[in-house]
């Protein structure tokens, strides 16, 4: 068995965790920053393992403004090992997805941190994890990640450099905005507008090595690096219950298109379960049709 070079963990107050988990963002301290696996040379070696695995990385330039459209920002014409060499000469954000697939130390790290969180929560009850994965974000100085939300709960740790993380309470998003994203049933980032958001519901975290934050599912955010290169590590997960809520919202999207006014998830659990089960059948068919159309257009 491979082991980390020293013990590492998140220092989260169990009361804060139980009170705010997946409801409101909160900050915490962590002891991940000095681990060998985060040294820049080690990360360069890791990026070589990503060659040819373009489904597992995303490299883009910094956005011109926090409110920019996420996918309007140019994608880098390099694989990660080349972009790593150009972080100073140019301005990039490198996302390495699922590093635990490529280095067993990252597998050990995510398993350890996730167990710590679940133990502190007192377990997940009868809920079940359907996706647990990490991400490494290596960015040039002074780059901006535009405003969006993710369909997953996250624990984000700053490893090197500074990052200002602007994250809003999930309560800023209306049901219609959520439905527009969840109707597709895809695991992806969700585009939403930054304009007009309530500043009272924005949490701003000045992250440096040893600092982190909890990001509830659907908590929209934008992020900026400061005067130096930044390295961050996050792990995220979805549960069967969170997927079911997404499917209920997809169902509600259809009701709304029929000019009905559907109940938000949580108001009627039996109805939520019905909607979720109905969409469990419909969403794969919709995705299948979308894939066929996409392929037909490409031919
Ligand atoms: Fe995000």
Per-residue pLDDT of 192-206, as tens digits, reads 999 999 999 999 999
| Among the listed residues 123, 205, 109, the one whose alpha carbon sits nearest the alpha carbon of residue 164 | 205
Collect all residues with Cβ–Cβ distance below 8 Å to 281 and sequence separation of at least 6. Answer: none
> Ligand 1 center to residue 99 CA distance, Å?
17
Percent pLDDT > 90 in the chain is 80
Note the pLDDT tens digit of each residue in 110-134.
999 999 999 999 999 999 999 999 9
> Ligand 1 center to residue 151 CA distance, Å?
9
> Ligand 1 center to residue 164 CA distance, Å?
13
Q: What is the mean pLDDT of the chain?
A: 92
Question: With 60 as the cut, is the pLDDT of residue 69 above it?
Answer: yes
> Ligand 1 center to residue 279 CA distance, Å?
25
Question: With 90 as the cut, is the pLDDT of residue 297 above it?
Answer: no
| Among the listed residues 91, 112, 127, the one whose alpha carbon sits nearest the alpha carbon of residue 30 | 112
Question: With 90 as the cut, is the pLDDT of residue 22 above it?
Answer: yes
> Ligand 1 center to residue 296 CA distance, Å?
31
Kindly report which listed range (45-54, 136-145, 201-210, 282-291) carries the lowest average pLDDT score: 282-291
What integer pLDDT is reported at residue 288 of this predicted model?
A: 65
What integer pLDDT is reported at residue 278 of this predicted model?
A: 85
Model confidence at 296, pLDDT cuts 50, 70, 90, reads low
Kindly report which listed range (112-116, 138-142, 156-160, 190-194) carries the lowest average pLDDT score: 190-194
Set out the domains of the chain in order of their start, with CATH numbers: 10-239 (2.60.120.650), 244-298 (no CATH)
> Ligand 1 center to residue 189 CA distance, Å?
7
Question: With 90 as the cut, is the pLDDT of residue 293 above it?
Answer: no
> Ligand 1 center to residue 158 CA distance, Å?
14
> Ligand 1 center to residue 94 CA distance, Å?
13
What integer pLDDT is reported at residue 3 of this predicted model?
A: 73
Higher pLDDT, 104 or 283: 104
Residues 5-34 have a mean pLDDT of 94
Percent pLDDT > 70 in the chain is 94
Strand-pair category, 26-30 with 211-215: antiparallel
């Amino acid at each position: 068995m491979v082991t980390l070079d020293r013990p590492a963990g998140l220092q989260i107050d169990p009361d804060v965790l139980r009170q705010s988990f997946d409801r409101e963002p909160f900050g915490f301290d962590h002891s991940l920053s000095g681990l060998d696996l985060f040294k820049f040379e080690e990360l360069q070696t890791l990026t070589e393992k990503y060659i040819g695995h373009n489904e597992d990385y995303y490299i883009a330039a910094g956005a011109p403004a926090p409110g920019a459209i996420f996918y309007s920002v140019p994608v880098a014409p390099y694989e990660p090992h080349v972009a790593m060499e150009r972080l100073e000469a140019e301005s990039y954000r490198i996302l390495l997805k699922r590093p635990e697939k490529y280095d067993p130390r990252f597998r050990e790290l995510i398993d350890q941190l996730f167990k710590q969180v679940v133990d502190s929560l007192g377990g997940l009850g009868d809920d079940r994890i359907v996706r647990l994965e990490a991400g490494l974000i290596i960015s040039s100085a002074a780059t901006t990640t535009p405003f969006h939300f993710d369909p997953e709960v996250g624990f984000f740790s700053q490893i090197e450099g500074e990052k200002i993380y602007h994250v809003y309470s999930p309560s800023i998003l209306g049901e219609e905005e959520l439905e527009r994203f969840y109707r597709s049933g895809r695991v992806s980032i969700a585009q939403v507008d930054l304009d007009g958001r309530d500043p009272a519901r924005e949490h701003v975290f000045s992250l440096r090595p040893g600092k982190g934050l909890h990001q509830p599912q659907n908590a929209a955010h934008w992020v900026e690096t400061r005067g130096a290169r930044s390295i961050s590590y996050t792990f995220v997960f979805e549960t069967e219950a969170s997927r079911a809520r997404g499917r209920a919202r997809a169902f509600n999207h259809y009701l709304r298109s029929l000019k009905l006014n559907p109940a938000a998830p949580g108001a009627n659990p039996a109805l939520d379960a019905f909607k979720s089960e109905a969409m469990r059948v419909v969403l794969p068919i919709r995705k299948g049709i979308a894939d066929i159309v996409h392929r037909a257009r490409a031919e």
